[in-house]
A and B are shown apart, each in its own frame.
Chain A
Amino acid sequence: MAAVAQTTPLSRILWPALAWTIALIFFFPIFWLVFTSFKTDADAVKPEHLFFFTPTLENYANMTENYDYWRFAINSVITATFATAFALAVGVPAAYAMAFDPSRHTKDILVWMLSTKMLPAAAVLYPMTFLTKNILGLFDTHFLVIVVLCLINLPIVIWMLFTYFKEIPKDIIEAGKMDGVSTWGEIKDILIPLAWGGIASTALLTFIFCWNEAYWTVRLTTIDAATLSKLIEGNRAPEGLFFGRLSAVSTAAVGPIVVLGWFCQKQLVQGLTFGAVK
């Protein structure tokens, strides 16, 4: 690493201290959310209890009663898990074919797939509502949310998998072909074990994106398939009365995902820039 500014003792302390300060400032809102979740609703708005208070777990204990948390959480888990699995099931074969058997159109197909991701969701809001409500009868079902989450993440899934698969030497796959292994056998016995790390991080990142999605999950559900985004969105203005309990349910909604996110920082760059930044 550059030894540029580390020559003087002052800068040896100053720059790390500055980096730490900025990191703590950025983390502070999350800390504050978690901190407030241990206050009672009454304590949460009293200045004298800003930093000193008797911590309580009642907000967490009452999450089900106050917000029906688990119903929304289970919906989030179900939709995000199945959407991720579905996207991988469709994405792995497609990326496999593109990486090991590219045609002259492969590049165009990849770029086109990405372009579908750039369609503003709001532009097709009414048609989606109309189709799912009046024609398909799928409005507010888990199936619909799973399909939509899968579709909006599919381009990123294929793109990420493609960049991982491209790193695998073609000879290995060709050797399998010589031995008369079927395509399914190649994918199952050669590709998946070799690209396991890449597939896992793609899955992790897709799961996070599905979990945090806040347009379609809010607009295409009412009760049955409503996810945590919908739950939080529905409690947007607590008028200060329920800061404690709202913090607890928010912490429960984002905590696991933030921790998951720590493990896929590297993949995030690849997943979000489509391999354009290395």
Chain B
Amino acid sequence: MANRTLPRLLQAPAVIMLLLWMLVPLGMTLFFSFIRYVLNSLRRPEWTTPSIENWRGLGNYKYVLDAKDFWFAIQNSVFIVVSILIFTVIFGLLIAVLVNRSFPGRGIVRVLLISPFFVMPAVNAVLWINMILDPVLGLNGLAVAGINDLVAGLREFPVIGQFFSMWPELKPISFRASQTSAYAVIMMVTWQWTPFAVLIFMTSLQSEDESQKEAAMLDGASAWSQFINLTVPHLARPIAIVVMIQSIFHLSLYAEIEIVSRGNGNKNLPYLIGEFTSNNIGAASATGIFAVILANIIAIFLLRMVGKSLMD
């Protein structure tokens, strides 16, 4: 144990690589966030090269905080993340408990359930917004048209036709508008990440103390009260972990938003940074620093939890 050189040497490449990866780009972002820096400017060409002479102090931060887009993007990011969290945790819990018992074909059910998680995000978005949610050509549009045709057919009949003639003509929802496309994003990400929650809750359920449950059953506790009093507390830690990991992933949601809502106003923080990056690098960098702060608030809790379980 006396010689620490070798273990250090073995870790060095990984540590140095990650250190560079973290410090260099982040340091540049930090620097750019304090200077005036734009990609194109006819009036002030000197602002197009990053230089300390264009120092702006906290000006970029002020500019970003005053931008309406910024607050909307924050709100929208939080709205999307929290919605996804609520749906994935609830669905994940119910499905995990449902599948956590033996029945014919359980292995196949597991395989079917986990599959969405491995679909690449770009395909997920293209598939949902076109083939499923398109108001005319997708299943959404076809289903609504089918119902309308059915109702129209029923109107031809005597007596019941009278009843159906009072039914309204249904209109399919378009998921390409600003607000509805946020719902579309929530839907597709929930679909993709519920399997993740299911998988983690199932892993955790398998370590649940069965003898406790049996004792509860002998005491005449109902299935529901067992679920609430034994299973849910046992799952508290995995739930916390699912919530934190997903928060970090979904705060940087990008491909889905880019594909579903390009230019329609449904933006989150990463998307706003992308927009700023097309010209105003100073503002993009300041927004980036805010995103780092937001992610760090969650990451600290997660890392504490993970760190605790590390050495046992």
Q: Which residue on chain B has the smallest CB distance to residue A17?
A: B103
Q: Which of A55-63, A127-135, A192-200 contacts B (4 or more CB under 8 A)?
A: A127-135
Complex Cα distance, B13 from A238, in Å, reads 45
CB distance from A104 to the nearest CB of B (A): 11
**Are B11 and A109 neighbours in the complex by a CB distance under 8 Å?**
yes
**Are A123 and B273 neighbours in the complex by a CB distance under 8 Å?**
yes
**Are B14 and A158 neighbours in the complex by a CB distance under 8 Å?**
yes
Complex Cα distance, B15 from A204, in Å, reads 23
Complex Cα distance, B255 from A121, in Å, reads 12
Q: How large is the interface on A (under 10, 10 to 19, 20 to 34, 35 or more residues)?
A: 35 or more
**Are B10 and A97 neighbours in the complex by a CB distance under 8 Å?**
yes
Q: Which of B56-104 contact A (CB under 8 A)?
A: 95, 98-104
Complex Cα distance, B298 from A172, in Å, reads 40
Indicate if A176 sits at the interface (CB-CB under 8 A): no
In the complex, chain A residues whose CB is within 8 Å of the CB of B311 = 107
In the complex, chain B residues whose CB is within 8 Å of the CB of A131 = 24-25, 28
In the complex, chain B residues whose CB is within 8 Å of the CB of A26 = 112-113, 115-116, 191, 194-195
Q: Which of B150-158, B164-172, B177-185, B203-211 contacts A (4 or more CB under 8 A)?
A: B203-211
Given A32-B139, A247-B131, answer yes or no on A97-B306 (Cβ-Cβ < 8 Å).
Answer: no
Given A32-B139, A126-B281, A246-B130, answer yes or no on A214-B117 (Cβ-Cβ < 8 Å).
Answer: no
Q: Which of B254-305 contact A (CB under 8 A)?
A: 254-255, 258-259, 262, 269-270, 273-274, 277, 281, 284-285, 288-289, 291-292, 294-296, 298-299, 302-303, 305
In the complex, chain B residues whose CB is within 8 Å of the CB of A32 = 127, 131-132, 139
CB distance from B184 to the nearest CB of A (A): 13
The count of chain B contact residues (Cβ–Cβ below 8 Å) is 112
**Are A50 and B142 neighbours in the complex by a CB distance under 8 Å?**
yes
**Are B118 and A208 neighbours in the complex by a CB distance under 8 Å?**
yes
**Are B13 and A118 neighbours in the complex by a CB distance under 8 Å?**
no
Given A103-B4, A275-B309, A277-B237, answer yes or no on A125-B102 (Cβ-Cβ < 8 Å).
Answer: no
Given A26-B194, A29-B128, A114-B303, answer yes or no on A232-B145 (Cβ-Cβ < 8 Å).
Answer: no
Indicate if A181 sits at the interface (CB-CB under 8 A): no
Q: Which residue on chain A has the smallest CB distance to residue B259?
A: A236
Instruction: Report the number of A-B residue pairs with Cβ-Cβ less than 8 Å.
Output: 310
Indicate if B252 sits at the interface (CB-CB under 8 A): yes
In the complex, chain B residues whose CB is within 8 Å of the CB of A27 = 112-113, 115-116
Indicate if A141 sits at the interface (CB-CB under 8 A): no
Q: Which residue on chain A has the smallest CB distance to residue B128?
A: A29
**Are B115 and A253 neighbours in the complex by a CB distance under 8 Å?**
no
When each residue 187-200 of chain B gets 1 if its CB lies under 8 Å from chain A and 0 otherwise, what string results?
A: 00001001110011
Indicate if A20 sits at the interface (CB-CB under 8 A): yes
**Are B291 and A120 neighbours in the complex by a CB distance under 8 Å?**
yes
Indicate if B6 sits at the interface (CB-CB under 8 A): yes
In the complex, chain A residues whose CB is within 8 Å of the CB of B108 = 23
In the complex, chain B residues whose CB is within 8 Å of the CB of A261 = 114-115, 117-118
Q: Which of A230-278 contact B (CB under 8 A)?
A: 232-233, 235-238, 240, 243, 246-247, 250, 253-254, 257-258, 260-262, 265-266, 268-269, 272-278
In the complex, chain A residues whose CB is within 8 Å of the CB of B1 = 101
Complex Cα distance, B126 from A228, in Å, reads 13
Complex Cα distance, B11 from A96, in Å, reads 9
Indicate if A90 sits at the interface (CB-CB under 8 A): yes
**Are A214 and B122 neighbours in the complex by a CB distance under 8 Å?**
yes
**Are A269 and B199 neighbours in the complex by a CB distance under 8 Å?**
yes
When each residue 161-188 of chain A gets 1 if its CB lies under 8 Å from chain B and 0 otherwise, what string results?
A: 0000000000000000000000100000
**Are A119 and B26 neighbours in the complex by a CB distance under 8 Å?**
yes
Indicate if A154 sits at the interface (CB-CB under 8 A): yes
In the complex, chain B residues whose CB is within 8 Å of the CB of A232 = 120, 122-123, 126
Complex Cα distance, B278 from A50, in Å, reads 42
In the complex, chain A residues whose CB is within 8 Å of the CB of B299 = 115, 118
Indicate if A116 sits at the interface (CB-CB under 8 A): yes
Residue in A93, A130, A268 whose CB lies within 8 Å of B28: A130
Beyond A33-B123, A98-B7, A277-B204, 10 additional pairs, beta carbon < 8 A: A27-B116, A29-B131, A97-B11, A109-B15, A120-B251, A158-B14, A211-B120, A232-B126, A246-B126, A278-B204
* Chain A interfacial positions (CB closer than 8 Å to B): 1-2, 4-6, 15-16, 18-20, 22-24, 26-27, 29-30, 32-33, 36, 45, 47, 50, 90-91, 93-94, 96-98, 101, 103, 107, 109-111, 113-116, 118-131, 151, 154-155, 158, 183, 208, 211-212, 214-215, 218, 228-229, 232-233, 235-238, 240, 243, 246-247, 250, 253-254, 257-258, 260-262, 265-266, 268-269, 272-278
Q: Write 17 A-B pairs (CB below 8 A) sorted by A numbering.
A: A2-B101, A2-B213, A19-B98, A23-B108, A26-B116, A27-B115, A32-B127, A120-B294, A122-B270, A123-B288, A126-B284, A129-B277, A212-B118, A232-B123, A254-B118, A269-B200, A276-B237
